[in-house]
Every structure is written in C-alpha cells, then in structure tokens.
Chain A
Amino acid sequence: MNKFISLAFKKAREDNRPAFLTYTVAGDSTKKKSLDILKSISKDVDICEIGFPHNTPIADGGQIQTSAYRAIKNGIKISDVFQLVRIFKKTKNSKPVILMGYYNMIYQYGENKFIKKCKSSGVNGLIVVDLPWPENKNFAKKCKSNSISFIQLLSPTTSKERLIKIIKDSHNMIYYISMLSTTGGKLKVSPKQILSNYKKIKKINPKKNCVIGFGITEKTISKLKNADGLVVGSAICKEITKSLKNGQNPVINVSRIVKRLKNKIL
C-alpha cells in the first residue's frame, strides 16, 4: 500500500475538499512539454495520473486518443515515461504519481521488470485499463508487495457481488467510472445519480479512498465534490490540442484550466 497516496487523500480531507487528480499523457505534446505541464500544475493537484500511451486503446475517447497518438508520434517510449516520472519526482518527491495504461505494454516489458522500474522511478500507483478483476489478482499482489497501489476500477455495470469482492481485494484507492462511456464522453447521467452509486460503493467499505472519473469538466466538477477524489483527463487533453491548434503554449493554458477546476471544488 502506498503511503503517499493515502496521505494525499488525508490532506484533502483535512481541507474539507475532494482530492484533485489530473490525467495527462506522457510525451504529450512532447517529452519536455509534458514534464513542464506536470511541474506547472502540480501545486494545484493532489495526485498526478500519467498515461503511458498505447496506439490501440479500446477504452479511450477522442481527446485522450489524440493525445496518445500525438505523444507516440513525437517519439515517446516507455523508458521515457519512467524517466519523466524520475525527473518530476526529484523536485516533487511527495506528490503521488499513478501510471495508467494498457496491459500489452506491461506484458511486453515484463511484469516484474515493469514493477521494479515503477518503484525505482517513484511511481506510487498503477491503473491497467484492460486487466480487470479477477484476472488482475496476481499482478495486484506483486504491486502491493512493492508498495505500489494497484487501483481497481468499478463501473455502473459492476454487480453488487462483484463490487464486494473487488473492494475486498483493492488497495488504498479505488476508481469509480461515472458512466457507461469511454474516457471523455459527455456526462450522460446526472451528478446526483453518480453520487448515489458512489455512496453504495463507500458503504461497502468507507475506508477505501474512492475517486470518480470519466466525463468530468469545469461545468460538472463542483456538483461531485462530495467524493473522496475527482479525476479530470479529457478536458485537459482537449486543452492541449486546442492550444497547439491556436499556436499557444499548452503549459500556460493547461495550468489555467487546472487552477479553475481546482477552485471549483475548494
């Protein structure tokens, strides 16, 4: 169990607000820019989720796909992702970093080697989109014994029975997918409905830090602030795309939107 992740939630709770998590893609738009973005937003962010991009993402919507393809095109390699984390962590040692991606990349790297590399670069948690429970049991165990949190995903389609079993096997953070959607879809259920599902999850084990993600934007974030944590991804990726299109500096624009998002949940 990773203590930095627990601490981030504890701190947010003490401030009487949800933890704020951002998702950006490593190497988007370039290796340097993505590091600059992370450094610049980290003061407003409690936990940084960083995507290691895959070119066949079966659960990502348009915005994150665009970011991922852009990063790959600009040459990002898995070793660069670890390097990015390492440099980021040099100055932000206590800021938790969660890597997120698809299993094939981990499989090709080798599970054990991947986890070891995560540990040595300062990665605190892992989300593997296409490695569901119970298939992920072994891998999650390996993460845990290396003090890396494996973050289980839950969805509106997850049955009650399954929720109980997954939560039992989960570590200190779980991730509730707000709706039936790929990342970045329009929020098609009401925040009220989302929070009601969220409460059912919390009731099973109130101690687990549960974040909500998928489809959260400036418009909707404040309505969900009763959760332990909120993740914004596509809205940020979209901002990068927009900045590049307008010939503006994505670092500045992303920092601004992150600040605005954060202000809405204080």
Chain B
Amino acid sequence: MKLKRKIPLIDQHDKFGFWGGKFGGSFIPETLKKPIDDLTKDFQKLRKNKNFIKKRNFYFKNYIGSPTRFIKLENLTEYLGGAQIWAKVVSDANGGAHKIYNATVHALICKNMGKKYIVGDTGAGYAGKMLSMAAKKFGLKCKIFMGAKDIKRQKPNCDAMRKNGAEIVPVFSGSQTLVDAVSECMRYWVSNCDTTHMCVGSTVGPNIFVKICGWSTSQISRELKKQIKKKFNKIPNKVKLINCVGGGSSAYGFWSEFVDYPKSQIELIGVEAGGPKKSKLHAAPLSRGAKLGVLHGAASYVCQNSEGQIKETESISAGLDYPGVSPIHCFLKDTKRARYTYATDEDALNAYKLVTKLEKINPSLEPSHAFAEAIKIAPKLSKNTIVIVNSCGDAKKDRDILRKKLGKKI
C-alpha cells in the first residue's frame, strides 16, 4: 500500500472507490446507485468548472470568512516549556466550526442539481447547524437527523438549526448518537433520492461523499500553508499538525496540503475519542485496534464485535462519538503517513481547562482532544518544533456539559 505524490488524497482511489485497495468503496442499496452516480458525475464536472470554483471561493471568503486566524499560543507555549504551540482557529469560520465548508459546497451542488430539499446527519450539531445555515442562505428546505442523546447534550446547536428553519428529526434507535443519525439519514435518502440531496457530515459514507467533504475542508490547509510560509518565511523543519478525528473531515482538511512532505518534517497526528477513562467503550477505531468492516456504505476500521454488529461508542464529545472513520484516515494509518492516538474524556476536559485558562480561545470538546495530545508531547520537544493544533470548533455548544463537569459558566 503506497501513497502517490502530487495527487490529492481524495483522488487516490481505484475504480471501485477503494483507497489502498481496501478502504472506502460504495456499499449501497441498488436504489442509491443512480443518485450516487449522478452526484459523482456532477461533482466531477463542477470541480473542473471555473465558474463553480469562483463561486466556491466567493462564498468561502465572503460568507464563511477566510482565512481563519493562525496564531501562536504564547502563554501555553511558555507554560509547557517545550515546543511552540500554535493554533489554526478554524472556529473563526461562520457558524463556529469547519463543518461550514462541506455544508456550503453541498448546498451549492444541491442547487446546481436543481434539487430543493437537502438532508444531513449531525452529532455535535455543527454539521446540522451549518447545513441549516447554508440551506437558508441558498433557499433550500432542510432536514437534519440527530440522535436523541445528542439533541439533549448539544442544545445550543439545535436551537440554531431551528432558528434557521430546519426540521430536526430525532433518532431513537440504537445508541441515539451520530451512528444512528447517519443510518436514519441514509434511509431517508433511499426513500426520497428523487427530490432530495444528501450531505454526509464528514469524510465518511460512500466514496463520493468522502471526496466532496475532503475537497471542501481542504481549504483549511490551503490557508494554513500560506500562513505558515508568511510567518516563518518557509515551511519549518519540524512541524506537527495535531487534529481530532471523528469521521476525519477536519483532519483531512488540515493535512491535505502537507501529505507530500516527509514525515520527518511534517508529522500528522490524529487524536480519537478514548471515552471515559474507566469505561471499556470508546470511539477510537484507528488507535485502539478495530477491525476492518463496512459501515454506512464504506469499508473502514470500525468498532464492532466479532459478528460484525457495530459496537456502541462513548465519548464526552458528540462530534467524535462515532464507531467508524474515514477510509482516507485508514489509508494514512496503514501507509504510516499519519499517526493516530486517543485522548480520554478526562484528558480532553483538562486540556480545555488549561487552554481556556491561559489563552483567549475557546475550543469545543472535539479539538480539546487534539490539545490534550499537544499538551502531552510539547514539553519533551525542542523550542524549534512547531506544534499546530486545529481548533476546529467553538465550545459554545458544549455549555451544558462544561457547566456540569467543571461547574463553570462559559
């Protein structure tokens, strides 16, 4: 299994849609073959269409607000006493997280296909909130599928979705979290694919959804590359890019421009949700040795039992609480280009406390997992090592959880 150079990772799959010959694909019911084929052809055309690119760039700049900031966390750096800690503050983006890139692109595609309805899944509620924003902006009717447990724990984002006029469909099956929301959303699409476009909220699902999402979030690393060059006059010799991984869309977007650099120069570190310290449950298929399986239309490492039933997961972070992961990250893991680890709920909370005490940023529980890893490794690293964390979401949505766990008003 080998990475190719100079070809975007999203395009390094075979004709059946598999990365590295075994990750990804399109395991879909027959009914979805045609809508997925149509979408694949349309996207193929659109990404080569100058007008479409212009439109995308226009909305990325004027609607999402790019570039998002690239800042040094001086206090945290000093406190840890090792590597320099920097943050790409992707939560600056309109709506407060990277999910806006994928949502905007899907809304544009939906409009282009002449469909008036758009549906999507959400865990943390950001993918749903952003899709509801984009739908409102582009005049589409929007339905969001969300696990009943997540509706409770991410209320601020649910309020935002409703305010934007989207309907939230609560999902009561299974663990009532993201995995069930994605299933229900796909089932809805099976029944309504003639009039409705589906947006998958991360770089997961059938091949084409991985590609569209990765194509959208890669804006993050295009900006970052320029910002690094500007700050350091070059790409420094020792860089570590740390990102949380749920489905893996923010991590893909954060890394895509840097995959061709040698690992010794730019290390890619993905941090999954380790779950509560004392629990056996987690949402870390890459770093805790899950087996290859098929979930939501794609082959990836999946938390499952020996029979192939998908396992329940547990994480304080709704956005990372998912048993599967992007096939692209499986590919990056098996080619050893990226390294994957996990942080527990407690690690993430401690990281949140420390970062917000020392700095003026407010990372949500998902990027707090990435900060936990940065905090862990930075003290042992040299001062010329540049650790960059993708602060990909804002903690406003975690208000209730943080208040409960830390007794803190935010």
A contact residues vs B (CB 8 Å cutoff): 54-61, 65, 69, 72, 77-78, 102-109, 129-133, 135, 153-159, 162, 177, 180-182, 185
Contact = CB atoms under 8 A, between A and B. Distances in A.
Contacts of A129: 29
Interface of B: 16, 25-35, 173-174, 179, 183, 186-187, 190-194, 291, 293-297, 302, 304, 306-310
A103 B29 contact: no
Contacts of B295: 56, 104
B31 A157 contact: yes
A180 B193 contact: yes
Contacts of B183: 56-58
Contact of A130 (B29, B193, B307, B309): B29
A57 B310 CA distance: 10
A172 B295 CA distance: 30
Identify whether the interface residues of B are mostly helix, strand, loop, or mixed.
Answer: mixed
Nearest to B185: A58
Contacts of A109: 307-308
A155 B36 CA distance: 14
A77 B192 CA distance: 33
A180 B33 contact: no
19 contacts: A56-B295, A58-B186, A58-B296, A59-B31, A102-B294, A104-B302, A104-B304, A105-B308, A106-B308, A108-B291, A109-B308, A130-B29, A130-B297, A135-B16, A135-B26, A153-B30, A157-B32, A162-B34, A185-B191
A107 B194 contact: no
Contact of A54 (B16, B173, B308): B308
A162 B33 contact: yes
Given A57-B183, A104-B304, A109-B308, A180 B294 contact: no
A33 B21 CA distance: 43
Nearest to A157: B34
Nearest to B306: A108
A114 to B, nearest CB: 11
Select the residue from A58, A59, A135 with max chain B CB neighbours within 10 A: A58
Given A55-B309, A153-B29, A162-B33, 7 more contacts: A54-B308, A58-B186, A58-B187, A77-B307, A104-B293, A130-B27, A182-B190
B34 A158 contact: yes
B191 A135 contact: no
Given A56-B296, A58-B190, A131 B27 contact: yes
A59 B27 contact: no
A158 B30 contact: yes
Given A107-B294, A159-B34, A181-B191, A59 B307 contact: no
A157 B193 contact: yes
Contacts of B186: 58-59
Contacts of B187: 58-61, 182
A54 B27 contact: no
Given A72-B309, A157-B31, A158-B34, A103 B294 contact: yes
A34 B29 CA distance: 26
A129 to B, nearest CB: 6
Contacts of B294: 102-104, 107, 130
A103 B294 CA distance: 7
Contacts of B173: 65, 69
Contacts of B31: 59, 155-157, 177, 180
Contact of B190 (A56, A59, A72, A105): A59
B190 A180 contact: yes
Contacts of A56: 174, 179, 183, 295-296, 309-310
A28 B36 CA distance: 33
Select the residue from B28, B194, B306, B310 with max chain A CB neighbours within 10 A: B28
A245 B310 CA distance: 27
